[in-house]
Structure 1
Amino acid sequence: MNKYTELSDFEINKKVAESLFLKFTDSWSVILVDGESFDPCNNPSDAMPIKICTAFDVFAEEHDSGNWVASPAYGFASERTRSNNLYRAAMELFLLMKDAENEKV
């Protein structure tokens, strides 16, 4: 289980913005970048620039942690996340990958 599953979408969005070094403000549980809402957990145009592979798991009931599986497009082969929200799974994986990069430094 990863440490990001317990965070809200807002908290995940904020951590993603920080990891991407975006200049943002947070207001009323919304992350704003250049005056526009930044919501990679729910908005495809915010999430897609981050290269993560996703797949729908038709056998998800066996795993009980979500139908969507995210895995890296490259490297970090053992990392994967699961969620009922496609983009949320991808953003959790992105943060886990950033954590792994930072541990190597």
Structure 2
Amino acid sequence: MNKYSEMSDFEVNDEVVESLGLYHLMYYSYDPYFIIWDVASNDLYNGFTSKKGHEFNPCNDKTIAFQLMIDNKLDLDFNPLTHSWSCRKLTHKNYFSSLNENPCRAIAECFLLIKDAEKDNE
């Protein structure tokens, strides 16, 4: 369990947007809770292609989640004992890990744990 495990998908998505520096490119809907691209489509921002009017939802969109996984060289596998997905990264200084039934959510949480460590080292 990590500090992101108890957050809603919307809260985790918001943290990912902040970590990627994309906040100023998004529109936030609070009823219902969505984060939506608010810039022209097909522009590249931090490795992500904008899609005006489309939701930015790394907790449930495999295209976004897998881009995070590839860009950050994260490992992902299924644990049959816990019936959950394990996303992790081992560096020379740290080990980051997240377990979740949703593989996209596990990736987003692991990404945020890495970003937290990077902030702490600044």
If the TM-score is normalised by the length of the shorter chain, which range does it land in? 0.7 to 0.9
Runs of 5+ consecutive residues of structure 2 not aligned to the other structure: 39-52
TM-superposition CA deviations, 1:8-43 (whole Å, max 9, x none): 001001110111111212103000123220011001
Find the aligned partners of 1:67 and 1:13 in 2 and give their Cα distance.
Answer: 20
- Whether 2:85 is the aligned partner of 1:68: answer yes
Alignment: residue pair count: 99
Give the structure 2 partner of residue 32 of structure 1. Answer: 36
Runs of 5+ consecutive residues of structure 1 not aligned to the other structure: 61-65
> Per chain length, whose mean CA-contact separation is higher, i.e. which structure has more relative contact order (CA < 8 Å, sep 6+)?
1
> Which runs of structure 2 are paired with 1:1-105 in the superposition (5 Å)?
1-22=1-22, 23-27=25-29, 28-34=32-38, 35-51=53-69, 52-60=74-82, 67-72=84-89, 75=91, 77-105=94-122
Superposition CA RMSD, Å: 1.5
- TM-score relative to the length of structure 1: 0.86
Q: Rg: which structure is higher?
A: 2
Find the aligned partners of 1:3 and 1:77 in 2 and give their Cα distance.
Answer: 17
Task: Could you list the structure 1 runs, at least 4 aligned residues long, displaced by more than 4 angstroms after superposition.
Answer: none
